[in-house]
């Protein structure tokens, strides 16, 4: 083979590689948009496993979407019988104990939505990294890589045909997985019947309305937080009319969320700081000016500590 021909083939191969890489870079965000749409619009019935803190849980999932809106039911398959039934913004829990909060937060098929991710992109990098098979179905693998130590990274496996999220792994700043979700079988397109979207566990139901509420504007809060982690901004400030001295503040970078709870606590009952991590969930608590502050979020410990250490009463 002549030197010129080898050079031409090498250049052709390089150009094809660059075109493919450019195509991946251009479509990774589109895959996340497909994931968001599929999570809200696809009908499916499946079984998934959830793992965190060295424990595994198996859940049966039913999801239906039609002109009346979304309906979803999650049912524990091991341990105490527990269920969550969601219709629109209303969630009903039955049984003793709770289901993994990763699913209670947003349903089984997505850890976040694409619109939120758009605001978060300056602090993450989205990369399509290859293909795989999950639950017998071909998937596109997409990494959402954190740009610093204040947030987690994700690896997502998205169904080729539907865009539905079939597996997700959340990684700590050390690269070690802290949370896993994976469908072991799924029938995409199967439409759950009405009976499959009703709770069957005989227990006192607990109803939660998940519509966002805000009883005050963020500027009305009596508290300031200095030196916020990069990219986080306040999105909600809530004060219960029945407990006017208590506040709930929410901060987000568009993907990760942090809640700050503040309530009166006499100095005589002050406890030392508390630092807890359970799977992807981090909690930090400390006493500030006769108040107890709790910071909770699906973020690294460093992040909740930064929030807690920066909080102080607002002057004036």
CA distance 98 to 16: 51
Q: What is the CATH number of the domain that holds 54?
A: 2.50.20.10
CA distance 186 to 49: 12
Q: What is the pLDDT of residue 23?
A: 39
CA distance 125 to 268: 47
Residues 261 and 278 in one domain: yes
Q: Which of 169, 180, 310 is nearest to 232 (CA)?
A: 310
Residues 135 and 230 in one domain: no
Side-chain-side CA neighbours of residue 240 (13 Å):
8
Q: What is the pLDDT of residue 91?
A: 79
User: What's the pLDDT tens digit per position in 244-271?
Assistant: 788 999 999 988 999 999 999 876 666 7
- Read off the pLDDT of each residue in 34-47 and give the average, rounded to a whole number: 91
Is the per-residue pLDDT at 212 higher than 70? no
CA distance 28 to 25: 6
User: What's the pLDDT tens digit per position in 132-178?
Assistant: 999 999 999 999 999 999 999 999 999 999 999 999 999 999 999 99
Residues 199 and 238 in one domain: no
Stated pTM of the model: 0.79
Percentages of the chain per state (helix, strand, coil), in multiples of 5: 25, 45, 30
Overall number of domains in the chain: 2
Q: Is residue 10 part of a domain?
A: no
% of the chain with per-residue pLDDT over 70? 78
Residues 238 and 197 in one domain: no
Q: What is the CATH number of the domain that holds 275?
A: 3.30.200.100
Is the per-residue pLDDT at 299 higher than 80? yes
User: What's the pLDDT tens digit per position in 175-200?
Assistant: 999 999 999 999 999 999 999 998 88
For the chain, what is the mean pLDDT?
Answer: 81
* End position of a domain, from candidates 174, 209, 244: 209
* End position of a domain, from candidates 175, 209, 243: 209
Q: Is residue 189 part of a domain?
A: yes
Residues 223 and 117 in one domain: no
Residues 147 and 166 in one domain: yes
Domain residues for the domain of 287 are 218-313
Is the per-residue pLDDT at 301 higher than 60? yes
Residues 253 and 274 in one domain: yes
Residues 266 and 118 in one domain: no
**Dihedral angle over CA of 209, 212, 213, 219, nearest 10:** 160
Residues 205 and 230 in one domain: no
Q: What is the pLDDT of residue 113?
A: 62
Residues 146 and 269 in one domain: no
Residues 101 and 154 in one domain: yes
């Amino acid at each position: 083979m002549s030197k010129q021909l080898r050079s031409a083939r090498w250049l052709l191969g390089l150009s094809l590689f660059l075109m493919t890489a450019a195509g991946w870079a251009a479509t990774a965000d589109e895959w996340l948009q497909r994931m968001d749409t599929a999570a809200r619009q696809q009908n499916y019935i499946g079984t998934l496993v959830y793992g965190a803190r060295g424990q595994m849980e198996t859940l049966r999932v039913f999801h239906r979407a039609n002109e009346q809106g979304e309906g979803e039911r999650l049912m524990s398959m091991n341990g105490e019988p527990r269920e969550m039934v969601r219709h629109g913004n209303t969630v009903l829990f039955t049984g003793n104990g709770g289901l993994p909060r990763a699913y209670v937060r947003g349903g089984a098929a997505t850890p976040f939505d694409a619109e939120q991710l758009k605001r978060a992109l300056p602090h993450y990098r989205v990369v399509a990294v290859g293909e795989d098979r999950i639950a017998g179905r071909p998937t596109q693998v997409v990494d959402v890589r954190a740009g610093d130590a204040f947030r987690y990274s994700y690896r997502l496996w998205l169904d080729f045909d539907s865009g539905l999220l079939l597996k997700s792994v959340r990684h700590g700043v050390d690269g070690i997985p802290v949370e896993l979700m994976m469908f072991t079988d799924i029938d995409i397109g199967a439409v759950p019947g009405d009976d499959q979207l009703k709770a069957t566990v005989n227990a006192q139901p607990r109803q939660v309305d998940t519509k966002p509420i805000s009883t005050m504007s963020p500027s009305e809060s009596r508290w300031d937080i200095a030196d916020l982690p990069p990219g986080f901004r306040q999105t909600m400030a809530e004060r219960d009319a029945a407990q006017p001295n208590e506040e709930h503040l929410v901060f987000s970078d568009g993907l990760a969320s942090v809640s700050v709870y503040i309530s009166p606590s006499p100095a005589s009952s002050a406890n030392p700081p508390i630092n807890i991590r359970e799977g992807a969930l981090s909690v930090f608590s400390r006493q500030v000016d006769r108040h107890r502050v709790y910071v909770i979020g699906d973020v690294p410990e460093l992040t909740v500590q930064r929030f807690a250490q920066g909080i102080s009463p607002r002057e004036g």
